[in-house]
Structure 1
Amino acid sequence: MAMTTPTRRIHYSPPWGNASIIGVAGSSGSGKTSLALAIVASLNLPWVVILSMDSFYKPLTPAQSAAAFRNEFDFDSPDAIDFDVLVDRLRDVKNGKVADIPVYSFQKHARLEQTTTIYSPHVLILEGIFALHDQRVLDMLDLKIFAEADADLCLSRRLVRDVKERGRDIDGCIKQWFGFVKPNFSKYVAPQREIADIIIPRGIENKVAIAMISSQIQKTLQHKSAQHQLELTRLGKIAEDSPLSPNAIIIKQTNQVKAIHTLLMDETTSTEDYIFYFDRMVALLIETAVDFLPFTPSQVTTPQGHVYMGLKKTAEISAVVVLRGGSAFETGLRRTIPDCRIGRILIQTNYRTGEPELHYRALPANIKQCGLVLVLDPQMSSGGAALMAVKVLVDHGVPEDRIVFVTYMAGRVGVNRVLRVFPEARCVVARMGDDMENRWVETRYLGC
């Protein structure tokens, strides 16, 4: 089954492809984090996230680290922030890519080896004392906010935070405040007030300002949703006018396969029989998909002493289950590839707009190094969720030609929608169905 590449690639931009970034600056202790949390809480959406500039302090030299433990290092100067790394990560977020965020320990005064990951936010809130300082950051911001608070209140908040969360003593905190924080506020922080779009006094107590910002973000999200729906409609029209992609592999319709189809399509089939034969069909689909794994010639000796020239796999296989339906594939997958590493993605369709939405992802470690990645979903109709699932893998570094979407039933438009955007990927299908057929396969399998 040699891969053939169909016609030219069609561009697709997911909802997070041009993330909106909001900057929140202000004095240390002015309530920036609390303000950002209040905005996120008022929206109650999984794709609005907060990024703290505290993660981007520069690694310290031994001399600087010793000074930091004596409370004599200036963390409140722009020179302490690694703006180059910050700008690079913001560009990744802006372009819909995976952004690896450093982790800084104030107890150790050092950047830790591990990182955290930000991926697919529609809106990102950047909060920090210098969020509006660097012109490269300003060029990426869609909204600039300055949080204002009384200096005495800022000092008391900083004392509580540094003692409780950063392991410092009160004398050291006061030493830092008067030695660095207060003079740097006038020199570096206060000038950001002049370029802010919105100045918010009283922080989280200012309910009107929070409601106004939340309303603006809601409008931004609604605009992104409308644009994404138009994008899917455009792709659907292109797919309708195209023949079935040569990278869509329909398994051979043998008598056994037709007999299993008959049982699965029969509404009188018992739940026990349905599960048994669906697991058998999944095994056939997985066996077909595994043929795309790279193999290399291998010579072995048989128990009778003969030499056999065969093949052995040269890379590992991972699978990504598209929840909830993809969980119906797991038993058949385990029977076929017992040691397969499995990840999960939750993509749900918004029943008000019909738009697929990414809610959760947990991918196998080092998935981009796998020789083959199977994406499992029992049914593909419009192809919107499948398109998003493949896009997630590509954004995480999985080469397109190593991705195989495996499904029991699919519509021609849905398959073409995916393979016109990702022409080097492949799709293994057991049965071609109607383009807009309602999902029923996992309901029969799971019983609910």
Structure 2
Amino acid sequence: MFGCRKKAEIPIYSFEKHQRVPNKNTTIYSCHVLILEGIFALYDPRVLDLLDMKIFVDTDSDICLARRLARDVKSRGRDVRGALQQWHRFVKPNFELYVRPQMKNADIAIPRGIDNLTAIAMVVKHIQRALNAKSEAHLKKIAELGEQVMEKPLTDHVTVLDQTPQLRGIHTILQDRKTTREDFIFYFDRLASLLVEKAMDRMTFTSHEVLTPLNLPYNGLRCASAICGIVILRSGGVFEIGLKRVVPDCKIGRLLLQSNIRTGEPELHHLKVPPNLGNHQVLLLDPQIASGAAALMAVRVLKDHGVEEGNIVFLTYMATKVGLGRLNAVFPEMKIVVAGIEDAWTSRWIDEKYFGC
């Protein structure tokens, strides 16, 4: 299966206890190639319909027995006698009855396993061709979407800060190449606070009554749910001080996206978010949006973790019209708050100036 992009929780199985380990899973995410391996991998027609390539690895039964004895004794707490009895009574006859017939469902059968270098090389080349084709198709769709959104206005869910004299003055300081790093950090933190404050206006609030110091009731508002800031590493870290100034009790999560040098597609390399993320309103932080490809994937990650689209506010300093348009078109219920819009794509520079490297 090529080009998988969704999160999956894989149960952990205990061979010693012959059952799944309770409340323990392995999370996999954003793989380009998903390998489904198992004795019944080619059995269920519903699974076969999902596979791009089906392989049956045929290994000599003597080698299988030797590997099984070494594994069962070393890793599964069994003795040689018990392993042999299991092999002759159950494993081998059931293999011939149920597993070997699945060979007819395979696209290719590889004898001799890892020793068959020619067959393995053929499989690798097939996978590379399939990945290249899917990457080209994906990038083509992104480009087509960019052409479409350039002709459409942004919706009300996109908020651009009013370009007041104060804000234009801050822009001027930040854009000036002569600005020292100390001044850049000071004024960017100030602008980050303004962006977070504006983003808070897009959050959902509920009525809440409190007693004033004079013991009088006051009908006010409070956030409908906890707020979590998700930093897109590393550049999104420039917003953390401004975020903490406005929402000091905000939880922080992080995800690392990097573009594949060969294909240009974003890849998820690290993810750490608070538990029950779906119960939060989320501020997604990244100071620059160019094509919007990484931003699209970041939002997809949040949605896969249970966050409703309407509970996400994307916070950015500068963005291109095409990048904003793509985000707005694909996730129309998400709010976006931006300090300014650029006409053309620029390389990332804000985090380098802020962090000094």
Task: Please tell me the TM-score bracket, short chain as reference.
Answer: over 0.9
Alignment of 1:102-181 (within 5 A): 102-112=11-21, 113-181=23-91
Paired amino acid for 1:299 = E
Report SS of the residue matched to 2:214.
Answer: coil
Paired amino acid for 2:145 = L
What's the counterpart of residue 350 of structure 2?
Answer: 441
2:119 corresponds to 1:209: yes
Asked whether the 8 Å contact 2:59–2:113 carries over to 1, the reply is yes
Asked whether the 8 Å contact 1:245–1:416 carries over to 2, the reply is no
Report SS of the residue matched to 1:123.
Answer: coil
2:221 corresponds to 1:311: yes
Report SS of the residue matched to 1:125.
Answer: coil
**Structure 2: tracts of 5 or more residues without a match:** none
TM-score normalised by the chain length of structure 1? 0.75
**Aligned with 2:107 (options 197, 203, 212):** 197
What is the distance in 1 between the residues matched to 2:47 and 2:305?
24
What is the distance in 1 between the residues matched to 2:208 and 2:105?
67
What's the counterpart of residue 339 of structure 1?
Answer: 249
Alignment of 1:322-401 (within 5 A): 322-370=232-280, 372-401=281-310
Paired amino acid for 2:29 = Y
What's the counterpart of residue 194 of structure 2?
Answer: 284
Alpha-carbon distance, 1:226 to partner: 0.2
Report SS of the residue matched to 2:36.
Answer: strand
**Structure 1: tracts of 5 or more residues without a match:** 1-18, 21-46, 48-92
Cα-Cα RMSD: 1.8
What's the counterpart of residue 295 of structure 1?
Answer: 205
Alpha-carbon distance, 1:264 to partner: 0.7
What's the counterpart of residue 129 of structure 2?
Answer: 219
What's the counterpart of residue 81 of structure 1?
Answer: none
2:325 corresponds to 1:419: no
Asked whether the 8 Å contact 1:147–1:201 carries over to 2, the reply is yes
Paired amino acid for 2:240 = E
Alpha-carbon distance, 1:227 to partner: 0.8
- Following TM superposition, the consecutive aligned residue runs of length 4 or more in structure 1 with deviations greater than 6 angstroms are none
Alpha-carbon distance, 1:259 to partner: 2.3
Alpha-carbon distance, 1:266 to partner: 1.3
Which has the higher mean CA deviation after the structures are superposed, 166-175 or 343-352?
A: 343-352
Aligned residues: 356
Paired amino acid for 2:315 = V
Alpha-carbon distance, 1:389 to partner: 1.3
What is the distance in 1 between the residues matched to 2:247 and 2:15?
45
Alpha-carbon distance, 1:177 to partner: 0.5
Paired amino acid for 2:305 = H
Report SS of the residue matched to 2:95.
Answer: helix
Which has the higher mean CA deviation after the structures are superposed, 334-343 or 411-420?
A: 334-343
2:171 corresponds to 1:261: yes
Q: CA 1:261 to 1:398, structure 2 compared with 1: closer, same or farther past 3 Å?
A: same
Asked whether the 8 Å contact 2:209–2:218 carries over to 1, the reply is yes
Alpha-carbon distance, 1:202 to partner: 1.9
What is the distance in 2 between the residues matched to 1:363 and 1:216?
36
**Identity rate, percent:** 53
Report SS of the residue matched to 1:345.
Answer: strand
What is the distance in 2 between the residues matched to 1:296 and 1:270?
43
What is the distance in 2 between the residues matched to 1:397 and 1:318?
13
Report SS of the residue matched to 2:17.
Answer: coil
Alpha-carbon distance, 1:350 to partner: 3.7
- Which whole-Å deviations, capped at 9, do the CAs of 1:258-291 have from their partners, x for residues lacking one? 2221211111111011111111111111111122
User: Relative contact order, CA 8 A, sep 6+: which one is greater?
Assistant: 1
Report SS of the residue matched to 1:404.
Answer: strand
Q: CA 1:191 to 1:206, structure 2 compared with 1: closer, same or farther past 3 Å?
A: same
What's the counterpart of residue 184 of structure 2?
Answer: 274
Paired amino acid for 1:435 = A
- Which whole-Å deviations, capped at 9, do the CAs of 1:157-215 have from their partners, x for residues lacking one? 00111122222222221111011001111111121223322221221222222211111
What is the distance in 2 between the residues matched to 1:247 and 1:299?
29
Paired amino acid for 2:299 = V
- Which whole-Å deviations, capped at 9, do the CAs of 1:18-48 have from their partners, x for residues lacking one? x43xxxxxxxxxxxxxxxxxxxxxxxxxx7x
